[in-house]
């Protein structure tokens, strides 16, 4: 595994070995490793219900790290306010709003209104996946707040993996992969992190307003995303990955 303080070339990293060695390491050490080893490294955040955890670690490691926020145009006003509140509170100096090529109105003009009802996969492809691919063109790897305990699809999330994005191979890092919901809540309490304004109103997982509803007691946190549909992921975490 590369641990030199000099930033090496991406090809110098033995991904399989890194994934093995970092499994079980503290999340902040995983983040420090990524910052040191991945030449052009960013973090993505939805500024949703659990975002404060990873972002508090980012602030501790390097408040100038680029934090990419996918501003789909469909976020709750509370989420947009939280994006600024959290960035200010944590002292994050490089939050970048990533927007789709088309505004919501332009998308409706071109493809018809309420695409999120008619074909949410296409809507997510236009407003999340393509903008993220474009934003990641400037980076060699990125970290996300994905956790194994969130959904069956995420249950085998590696701590470090290669990820194919739009024909390029990047490194994808998941410092919180092994964290449970209780770990996240404990970290939030310990560090007195501000909650998302909607978290206290029953929203366990928060994405675009048209595709998010509050969850009932006992329901899975992500049950409120695309409720009533087979869809469980927007697509930004569905790229092909390889690790140990
Ligand atoms: S979550 Fe819903 S509104 Fe947001 S991009 Fe996907 S389909 Fe569109």
Tell me the pLDDT tens digit for each residue of 39-78. Answer: 999 999 999 999 999 999 999 999 999 999 999 999 999 9
State how far the Cα of 117 lies from the Cα of 32, in Å rounded to an integer. 41
Q: What is the mean pLDDT of residues 225-232?
A: 78
pLDDT, one tens digit per residue, over 5-22 is: 445 567 778 999 999 999
In this predicted structure, the answer to whether residue 230 has a pLDDT above a threshold of 80 is: no
pLDDT, one tens digit per residue, over 91-139 is: 999 999 999 999 999 999 999 999 999 999 999 999 999 999 999 999 9
Q: Is 37 a catalytic site residue?
A: no
56 CA → ligand 1 middle, Å: 26
In this predicted structure, the answer to whether residue 195 has a pLDDT above a threshold of 70 is: yes
H/E element holding 163? strand 160-165
Backbone angles phi, psi at 106, to 5 degrees: -65, -40
Cβ–ligand 1 distance for 35 under 6 Å, the answer no
Instruction: Work out the angle between the directed axes of helices 27-37 and 51-61 (0-180°, nearest 10).
Output: 50
Residue 213 carries which DSSP code? -
32 CA → ligand 1 middle, Å: 32
Q: Which domains does the chain have, with CATH numbers?
A: 10-242 (3.40.50.620)
């Amino acid at each position: 595994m590369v641990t030199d303080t000099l930033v090496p070339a991406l090809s110098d990293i033995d991904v399989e070995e890194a994934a093995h060695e970092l499994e079980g390491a503290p999340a902040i050490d995983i983040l420090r490793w990524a910052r040191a080893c991945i030449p052009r490294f960013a973090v993505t955040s939805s500024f949703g219900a659990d975002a404060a955890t990873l972002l508090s670690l980012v602030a501790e490691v390097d408040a100038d790290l680029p934090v990419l926020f996918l501003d789909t145009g469909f976020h709750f006003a509370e989420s947009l306010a939280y994006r600024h509140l959290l960035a200010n509170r944590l002292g994050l100096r490089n939050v970048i709003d990533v927007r789709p090529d088309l505004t919501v109105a332009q998308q409706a003009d071109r493809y018809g209104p309420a695409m999120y009802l008619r074909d949410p996969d296409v809507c997510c492809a236009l407003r999340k996946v393509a903008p993220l691919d474009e934003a990641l063109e400037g980076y060699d790897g990125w970290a996300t707040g994905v956790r194994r305990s969130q959904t069956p699809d995420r249950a085998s999330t590696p701590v470090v993996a290669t990820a194919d994005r739009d024909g390029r191979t990047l490194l994808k890092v998941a410092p919180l992969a092994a964290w449970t919901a209780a770990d996240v809540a404990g970290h939030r309490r310990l560090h007195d992190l501000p909650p998302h304004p909607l978290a206290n109103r029953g929203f366990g997982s928060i994405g675009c307003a048209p595709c998010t509803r509050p969850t009932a007691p006992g329901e899975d946190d992500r049950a409120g995303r695309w409720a009533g549909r087979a869809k469980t992921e927007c697509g930004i975490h569905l790229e092909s990955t390889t690790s140990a």
